[in-house]
C-alpha cells in the first residue's frame, strides 16, 4: 500500500521557528517527528511514501533523500555506525515529494496525491502526529484490502474538546471497530455525533486521530467539495460523501496520539519518548 504524509501546512503555532525549520522536522530525541511517521508507515507495509511539502519545507526532502557526497566521506573514514544512521531515513521506503502550491487545507493537500495513488486504497498520515504504542494502521490497511472500505483511526476525546476535532458517530461492529454513520468537523458539544452500542447506549465522544485509509473515491469527493472556512477544502466533508456512498469504518487507537502541532504537545511528546520505542 502507498502512504501519503501531508506536511505542507504553515505551522503558525510554531512561529517563529517554523519560519526556518518545518514543524515536522522538530526533534523527538535525535529523530524528527516525521521520521517516526515514516517508520510507522513502513511497519504497516507501506513501501511507497509521498510527502506533501512546499518550497519553504525543502529540509524534509533533503532529510529523506540519499546524500552520496556525505555518505562517501563517512564511508572512507570508516565511520560505519554513523553511516548507517545517516542512511536510515532514506532506507525506510521509496520516497516521492509533491508541492502544494497554496495552503488550502488538509483536503487540498490530499488531492495533491491523486496521480501518485492511482486506483488503489491508500493511507494518509498527518506528519505532525506520532502514535505512541500500537499503530492502528495495520488493521486499517487490512480492512481496506478485505472489505474495500475506507477507515479512520479514532481516539476518545474529552467532552470539552470536541469543538476542536473531527468527531465520528456510528455503531459498534466489533471490539474497537465501528461502522460510521456521522462525521462532523469541530461540532458544538451538544451537536457532536456519538458512537453507540446495539442497545442504544452511547460511548464518550471519539475524534479522528490523524491516521486514515481511503479508497480512491475520496478524490472525486474532494474535487466536488466547495471550499469552506478560510477557503480551505475540508477533508471531513469529502469523507462524509464517501461514507454515504461506500460506507466507512472507524478503528479505535490502541496507542496514544501525540500531536506535536503546538509547542506544548512537542514537550509532552519528548517526555513520552520511551513509549515510542
Contact stretch for ligand UTP (CB under 6 A) within 63-71, 126-134, 158-166, 218-226: 126-134
Measured in degrees and rounded to the nearest 5, phi and psi for residue 79 equal -90, 75
DSSP for 166-189, please give it: EEEEEEEEETTEEEEEEEEES--G
237 counts as binding ligand UTP under rule CB under 6 A: no
Q: Is 192 exposed, middle or buried (0-12, 13-18, 19+ CB in 10 A)?
A: buried
Contact stretch for ligand UTP (CB under 6 A) within 4-12, 163-171, 201-209, 213-221: 4-12
6 counts as binding ligand UTP under rule CB under 6 A: yes
8 counts as binding ligand UTP under rule CB under 6 A: yes
130 counts as binding ligand UTP under rule CB under 6 A: no
52 counts as binding ligand UTP under rule CB under 6 A: yes
Nearest CA to 248 among 166, 127, 186, 189?
Answer: 166
3-state secondary structure of 196: strand
Contact stretch for ligand UTP (CB under 6 A) within 10-18, 41-49, 90-98, 239-247: 10-18
User: To which residue does cell 460511548 refer?
Assistant: 203
Contact stretch for ligand UTP (CB under 6 A) within 2-10, 82-90, 175-183, 196-204: 2-10
Shortest Cβ 110–ligand UTP spacing (Å): 9
Residues 75-114 that bind ligand UTP (CB under 6 A): 100, 103-106, 108-109
Q: Are 62 and 108 in contact (CB under 8 A)?
A: no
* Total residues in contact with ligand UTP, by rule CB under 6 A: 21
Characterize the bridge pairing of strands 177-185 and 248-252: antiparallel
127 counts as binding ligand UTP under rule CB under 6 A: yes
CA 151 to CA 148: how far, in whole Å? 10
Q: What is the contact surface with ligand UTP in residues (CB under 6 A)?
A: 6-13, 24, 52, 100, 103-106, 108-109, 126-128, 261
Amino acid at each position: 500500500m502507498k502512504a501519503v504524509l501531508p506536511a505542507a501546512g504553515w505551522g503558525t503555532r510554531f512561529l517563529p521557528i517554523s519560519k526556518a525549520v518545518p514543524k515536522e522536522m522538530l526533534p523527538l530525541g535525535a529523530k524528527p517527528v516525521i521520521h517516526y511517521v515514516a517508520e510507522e508507515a513502513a511497519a504497516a507495509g507501506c513501501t511507497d511514501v509521498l510527502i506533501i511539502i512546499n518550497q519553504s519545507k525543502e529540509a524534509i526532502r533533503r532529510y529523506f533523500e540519499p546524500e552520496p557526497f556525505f555518505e562517501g566521506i563517512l564511508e572512507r573514514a570508516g565511520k560505519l555506525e554513523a553511516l548507517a544512521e545517516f542512511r536510515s531515513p532514506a532506507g525506510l521506503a521509496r520516497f516521492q515529494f509533491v508541492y502544494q502550491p497554496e495552503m488550502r487545507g488538509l483536503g487540498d493537500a490530499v488531492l495533491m496525491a491523486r496521480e501518485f495513488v492511482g486506483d488503489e486504497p491508500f493511507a494518509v498520515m498527518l506528519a505532525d502526529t506520532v502514535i505512541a504504542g500500537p499503530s492502528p494502521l495495520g488493521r486499517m490497511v487490512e480492512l481496506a484490502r478485505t472489505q474495500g472500505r475506507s477507515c479512520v483511526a479514532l481516539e476518545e476525546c474529552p467532552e470539552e474538546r470536541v469543538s476542536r476535532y473531527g468527531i465520528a458517530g456510528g455503531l459498534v461492529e466489533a471490539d474497537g471497530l465501528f461502522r460510521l454513520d456521522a462525521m462532523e468537523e469541530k461540532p458544538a458539544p451538544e451537536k457532536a455525533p456519538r458512537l453507540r452500542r446495539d442497545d442504544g447506549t452511547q460511548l464518550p465522544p471519539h475524534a479522528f486521530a490523524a491516521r486514515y485509509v481511503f479508497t480512491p473515491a475520496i478524490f472525486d469527493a474532494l474535487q466536488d467539495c466547495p471550499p469552506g472556512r478560510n477557503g480551505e477544502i475540508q477533508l471531513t466533508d469529502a469523507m462524509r460523501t464517501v461514507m454515504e456512498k461506500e460506507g466507512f469504518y472507524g478503528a479505535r487507537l490502541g496507542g496514544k496520539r501525540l500531536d506535536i502541532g503546538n509547542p506544548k504537545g512537542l514537550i509532552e511528546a519528548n517526555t513520552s519518548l520511551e513509549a515510542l520505542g
